Amino acid sequence: MIRLFAGSMLVLSLAACNNSTDTGKTGEGDSSNTTKESETVMSILTDQEKADGWVALFDGQTTKGWHKYGGGPTGSAWKVADGALYLDTSAKKDWQIENGGDIVTDEEFENFHLKLEWKISKDGNSGIMFYIHEDSAKYEWPWHTGPEMQVLDNEGHPDAKIKKHRAGDLYDLISSSKETVKPAGEWNAVEIKSLNGKLDLNLNGENVVSVTLWDDAWKKLVAGSKFAKMPDFGTYKKGRIGLQDHGNMVWFRNVRVKRL
């Protein structure tokens, strides 16, 4: 499905090296990473994938196509190196959002199939959000409207002790049917597919959550969660895709989407 071209790898690796001063090192703060990050890994859409409607949401070299939630360019703590988009927490202070913050796609999506890979630092926390309605004057945070697939180090982060807060869960709503997450520092493959209200979350090749959005059962589910006091949470049928700054190092790569 992903075609890796050996010739391109050298060019991309050199490009990553040339940008190393500005982007930093992807291995920073990730002592458990056992892969060689100097070996650039990028998703190149095949002609067939392009014909099938797949589009790259991340080009492996820039933050083009993304912006800070509420408007403006992505903060300087969001960096690109070795074909990955990552949050460099050494470039920000705690929950400071001026140079970090959650980022969202420039485009909105209705029925979609999203694929990406993520890895998290030791004890880290992040998330992948969707159907975000970007109105920062009304909704301070993207998770005030957009559901989230949890990204977490299940072995080290305290949230792992909370049901429905573990990696792969539909955050605070539905627990994963099985645990397929890999340890901190290792890449995890995600698929999020939403078609006419049917939502499926896959983690490392296994379906872990399936639910129908927007019906009475969904409304009851939301009413029993931390989002109960957010009347517009999970109600929008079109919105942006977002990556969360939860104050921990996190990496994303091979981000692509297909409109359904």
Q: Given this model, what pLDDT does residue 45 score?
A: 80
- The answer to whether the CB of 65 falls within 8 A of the CB of 105 is yes
Measure the CA angle with vertex 57, ends 109 and 119; round to 5°.
110
> For the segment 186-234, what is each residue's pLDDT rounded down to a tens digit?
999 999 999 999 999 999 999 999 999 999 999 999 999 999 999 999 9
Q: What's the CA gap between 8 and 13, in Å, rounded?
A: 8
Is the pLDDT at 14 greater than 60? The verdict is no
Q: Given this model, what pLDDT does residue 42 score?
A: 52
> For the segment 40-94, what is each residue's pLDDT rounded down to a tens digit?
445 568 788 889 999 999 999 999 999 999 999 998 999 999 999 999 988 766 5
Q: What's the CA gap between 197 and 215, in Å, rounded?
A: 8
Q: Given this model, what pLDDT does residue 214 score?
A: 98
SS (H, E, C) the chain: CCCCCHHHHHHHHHHHHHCHHHHCCCCCCCCCCCCCCCCCCCCCCCHHHHHCCEEECCCCCCCCCEEECCCCCCCCCEEEECCEEEECHHHCCCCCCCCCCCEEECCCECCEEEEEEEEECCCCEEEEEEEECCCCCCCCCHHHCCCEEEEECCCCCHHHHCCCCCCCCECCCECCCCCCCCCCCCCEEEEEEEECCEEEEEECCEEEEEEECCCHHHHHHHHCCCCCCCCCCCCCCCEEEEECCCCCCEEEEEEEEEEC
Quick one: average pLDDT of 84-105? 82
Confidence at 95, pLDDT banded by 50, 70, 90: low
Is the pLDDT at 8 greater than 80? The verdict is no
> For the segment 36-49, what is each residue's pLDDT rounded down to a tens digit?
333 444 556 878 88
Number of other residues whose CB lies within 10 A of the CB of residue 166: 20
Cα-based distances in Å from 159 to 38, 87, 140, 168, 223: 32, 20, 22, 12, 21
Is the pLDDT at 21 greater than 90? The verdict is no
Fill in the amino acid letter for 171: Y
Q: What's the CA gap between 213 and 216, in Å, rounded?
A: 9
Quick one: average pLDDT of 88-111? 83
- Set out the domains of the chain in order of their start, with CATH numbers: 6-259 (2.60.120.560)
Is the pLDDT at 29 greater than 50? The verdict is no
- The token pair that represents 79 in the structure block: 């960096």
> For the segment 125-175, what is each residue's pLDDT rounded down to a tens digit?
999 999 999 999 999 999 999 999 999 999 999 999 999 999 999 999 999
Confidence at 259, pLDDT banded by 50, 70, 90: very high
Is the pLDDT at 4 greater than 50? The verdict is no
- Of the candidates 256, 259, 260, the one whose C-alpha atom is nearest the C-alpha of residue 1 is 256
